[in-house]
Amino acid sequence: MIFRTINPRTTTRPALRKVRTGAALRPLQHRLDPARVEEIPFRAADGVRLGLTRIDSGDRDRPAVLILHGHTASADMFVQPETRNLVDVLLDGGYEPWLLDWRGSCRLPNNETGRKYTYDDVALYDIPEAVNHIRRRIGDRPLFVVAHCIGSLSLSLSMTAGLVPGLAGVVSQGVFLTPKLAGSTSLRMSVAAELLKSRIDHIPVDFRKVGLWSKYTPLFALASRKASCPDPTCQILHNSAWCSGASLFVHEQLSEATHNRLADLLGPAPLWILPHLRRIELARSVVRWHDTDYRYRALPPNALDAAARIDTPVLLLAGSENGLWLDSQELCRDILARRQPQLDVEYIEIPGYGHLDTFLGRGAALDVFGHILDFLGERR
């Protein structure tokens, strides 16, 4: 009953969809000097509003680093005020950080109420256009990319399509060319999502926004099974990420402040993205969704087969306890070493870290960002 779409009482409601999050970008939450944070109005070629932020270091000669967040996260995850974050470390290390909020950002309304997209759009429009925009601004200074999760997966599609040539180096966290999920996660994603998709279109993470009694209540209840933490948002991210059974982070790596802010850092996950994600995951390689739409023909049908087009050193990072993508990065290193031995690919495992906590964890600066600085420093 709880999943019924049309309630007799609601038939009288206006047909207009209620837009709960505004069309404009939610403000970035940071503790930087506001004068140094430059928000750039930025739209992709297909008209979707995106967010691009430049952190001004006061120095015009620094190499630029474009940072890509994961799906349903946002640039907030790199500037979080409560811990030493990646932007702090890059600024101190002599770089100029650029933050892109691609269309899957929770600072944008797309996931919840906006128009549908696939990762093809991210790879074809968002990332290449952001790179081109930054290139126009920085001239011939080197440009690095640090990418997390789906940001990194989409970047791999852009790179193998040859849409972002000449990067100075790429740091990929969590997953790159060979996504691999646990069997149970894959099963839930394929089957359960198929049953739900005609009833709901996204899975929220913030209990406060949907209330105690809603059609999402059973999902929260499901996610709370055998959970050790009583916070429902933590349960639906840590214990069972959007009810998929995966775990996004190692609980004790987060500071209390970050833990309390999880609902700001991660947003609802749309269900209509799942067919593309499922196709990618079952193939264990990044594949294009649009096979018949010629607008997307610049993208390779299978990014792993096109990996020879990668023209930049790649650092693959992953937490040893990654509860979502498991050992995808190690697998990627092994496969690229065998199939594309000419590529400069390095893999570093962060012991004791999960997926999101490699950027959000309170010790991330100590355990993770040092590796990123080392990699960038050798190639700047």
Shortest spacing between CB 199 and other proteins, in angstroms: 6
Tell the residue number behind the tokens 């650029």, with chain if given: 98
Q: Tell me whether residue 129 or residue 235 sits nearer to other proteins (CB atom).
A: 235
Q: How far apart are CA 32 and CA 28, in angstroms?
A: 10
Whole-number minimum distance, CB 1 to other proteins, in Å?
Answer: 12
- Nearest approach in angstroms of CB 184 to other proteins is 13
Cα–Cα dist 377/380, whole Å: 5
Angle of helix 127-138 relative to helix 149-160, nearest 10 degrees, comes to 80
Please report how close the Cβ of residue 231 comes to other proteins at its closest, in angstroms.
13
Cα dihedral across residues 252, 349, 268, 227: positive or negative: negative
Q: What is the DSSP letter of 247?
A: B
| CA nearest to 70, candidates 181, 190, 162, 172 | 172
Cβ atoms of residues 297 and 222 within 8 Å: no
Is the Cβ of residue 258 or residue 285 nearer to other proteins in the bound state?
A: 285
Alpha-carbon gap, residue 124 to 3, rounded angstroms: 36
> Which residue, 51 or 204, is less far from other proteins as judged by CB?
204
Q: Identify which of residues 130 and 358 has a Cβ nearer to other proteins in the complex.
A: 358
Q: CB burial class (10 A; 0-12, 13-18, 19+) of residue 214?
A: middle
Cα dist. 245→32, 62, 345 in Å? 36, 42, 30
Minimum distance between the CB of residue 293 and other proteins, rounded to whole angstroms?
14
Rank residues 279 and 379 by Cβ distance to other proteins and give the closer one: 279
Nearest approach, Cβ of 272 to other proteins (angstroms)?
6
Name which of 221 and 283 has its Cβ closer to other proteins: 283
User: Can you say whether residue 160 is alpha, beta or left, with left for phi > 0 and alpha for psi between -120 and 50 degrees?
Assistant: alpha
Q: Which residues bind other proteins (CB under 8 A)?
A: 5, 7, 10, 13, 17-18, 84, 89, 92-93, 112-113, 116, 178, 180, 183, 186, 190, 194, 197-202, 210-211, 213-216, 252, 272, 275, 278-279, 282-285, 287, 301-302, 304-305, 320-321, 331, 334-335, 338-339, 351-352, 362-363, 365-367, 369-371, 373-374
Cα separation, 96 vs 368, whole angstroms? 19
Give the residue with the Cβ less far from other proteins, 80 or 130: 80
Alpha-carbon gap, residue 331 to 311, rounded angstroms: 20
Residue 300 CB, shortest distance to other proteins, in Å, is 9
Compare residues 81 and 363 and give the one whose CB is closer to other proteins.
Answer: 363
Q: How far is the CB of 155 from other proteins (least distance, A)?
A: 19
